[in-house]
Amino acid sequence: MDYFLSEEQQMIVDIAKQITDERIIPNRAELDEKHAFPREILSEMAQADLFGIPIPEEYGGFGGGCFDIVLALEQLGRGCIGVGTAFAASSLGIYPLLFSGSEEQRRKYLPDVASGKKFAAFGLTEANAGSDASGINTTAVLDGDEWVLNGTKQWITNGGEAQIYTVVAITDRSKGPRGASMFVVEEGDPGFSCGPKEKKMGIRASSTTELIFKDCRIPRDRLIGRQGTGFITVMKTLDASRPGIAALGVGLGQAALDEAAVYAKQRVQFGKPIIGFQAVQHMLANMAIDIEASRSLVYCTARHIDAHPKNISKISSMSKVFATDMAMRVTTDAVQVMGGYGYMCEYPVEKMMRDAKILQIYEGTNQIQRNVIGQELNKEYAR
């Protein structure tokens, strides 16, 4: 389908596609096997200015919107969700600064992220605080001109690889959700360290670690926004980032369909290619329908967010749920179409199926997204 991209948007697609075809796809199996962070590939993406897409021009970025980042992530997702996640997590890490940061903070941190000189990460999840963000135990106490952080964040993407971390901590437990605040923590801050890399089922090229704060002292001006507005910033951040996760799902689904269709054309059984059997045709047809429907929803959502950035929780969650459930379904079907070959590590669809699962989990499980959608519908129909 023709989605009537502008010249600049088509340029983003072309650049991301070229990097995916030339650098990600040829290396994705090795990155997966070795659990290797794709620093060289990310550096090439930085040289191509992809890291600057969501960052305003005055801070060295491209000044693009949600749709622009979605276009890039779809192509990266077609190559490797692990690489795409490492890229997306850096954008996720700077969204709090874009939404709530001071001018001084933006000028200090955003240019280095836009250029790819530094990576960013977002620290929210804890052992007892995932879907229920109010369960956060990490604390920040003001001591003179410094904040002192104590606690542990869990499963943080780009942990140990990023230089800039935006972290949520409780500054006043008695105020409930209004007692959370957000801070910038830098690599090398005293009392801050990262745990060892987690071993994961999928997205193995992405680094996932704990963030550990033991009397971590940071300057007072590292507070992002006002004290007590941390959860507001978190919600804005996740609403803005979820279409990007959906876009990774679209790219992954497209890659799985491509692999399955090519195989079905080549695989001969009972004297003809299996794509000639109606059972296989219907599987491929359903995959294609689901992918195009997801792409349309994600693109429409992103364009809506760029035009009307308020009250976007429902549509953001819808795009994330629909496209990532699709990715899990389509990658599973791709393995089925390819049979025993699809189950072998020699072929990429088994990795795609492993990678797809995380899309339904991180940045808010799809069950939580359905809760968000249901709550928004309840508000709408109560009027």
Check which CATH number belongs to the domain holding 142 and give it. 2.40.110.10
Domain co-membership, 270 together with 343: yes
Nearest Cα to 50, choosing from 34, 78, 70, 33?
A: 70
State how many domains the chain has: 3
Residues 125 and 213 in one domain: yes
Beta strands (DSSP E) in 90-224 are 120-123, 139-143, 146-157, 164-170, 180-186, 192-194, 208-219, 223-224
349 and 253 co-located in one domain: yes
Per-residue confidence (pLDDT) for residue 134, from 0 to 100: 74
pLDDT in tens, 1-22: 889 999 999 999 999 999 999 9
pLDDT for the residue numbered 199: 97
Given the residues 74, 126, 350, 363, the one annotated as active site: 363
**Does 81 fall in a domain?**
yes
pLDDT tens-place string over residues 187-217:
999 999 999 999 999 999 999 999 999 999 9
Q: Which residue has the tokens 């054309």?
A: 265
246 plus 350 within the same structural domain: yes
Answer yes or no: do 248 and 349 share one domain.
yes
Query: Where a domain ends, among 58, 87, 119?
Result: 119
Domain annotation covers residue 253: yes
The CATH number linked to 284 is 1.20.140.10
- Give residue for tokens 């002292």: 217
Spatial distance between the Cα atoms of 227 and 94, rounded to a whole number of angstroms:
18
Contacts (Cβ under 8 Å, ≥6 apart) of 61: 52, 53, 54, 55, 110, 114
* Element housing 378 (H / E): helix 366-381
Decide if 276 is inside a domain: yes
Residues 175 and 306 in one domain: no
Per-residue pLDDT, 383: 73
Q: Is 146 a residue of the active site?
A: no
* pLDDT for the residue 266: 97
Sign of CA dihedral 29, 30, 36, 37: negative
- Domain boundary, last residue among 95, 119, 143: 119
Residues 238, 375 share a domain: yes
Residues 104 and 145 in one domain: no
Enumerate residue ranges in the chain where pLDDT < 70: none
Lookup: tokens for 311: 């009250």
CATH of the domain at 12: 1.10.540.10
What 304-313 contacts at long range (C-beta under 8 Å, 24+ apart), as own/partner pairs, is 305/65, 305/66, 305/67, 305/240, 305/243, 306/65, 306/66, 306/67, 309/240, 312/239, 312/240, 313/235, 313/239, 313/372, 313/376
Q: Is residue 1 part of a domain?
A: no
Burial category of 371 from C-beta neighbours within 10 Å (exposed 0-12, middle 13-18, buried 19 and up): middle
pLDDT of residue 133: 75
The helix, strand and coil proportions of the chain, stated in percent and rounded to the nearest 5, come to 60, 15, 25
Q: Is 77 exposed, middle or buried (0-12, 13-18, 19+ CB in 10 A)?
A: buried
Tokens of 334: 């791709």
Considering the domain architecture, whether residues 92 and 105 belong to the same structural domain is answered as: yes
Same domain, residue pair 325 and 336? yes
Tell whether 2 is covered by a domain: no
Could you tell me if 268 and 322 lie in one domain?
yes
Which alpha helices (H) appear in 207-312, and where do they start and end?
Answer: 230-266, 278-307
Instruction: Note the residue count of the chain.
Output: 383
Distance CA 237, CA 170 (A): 18
What is the extent of the structural domain holding 98?
7-119
Do residue 323 and residue 236 come from a single domain? Answer: yes
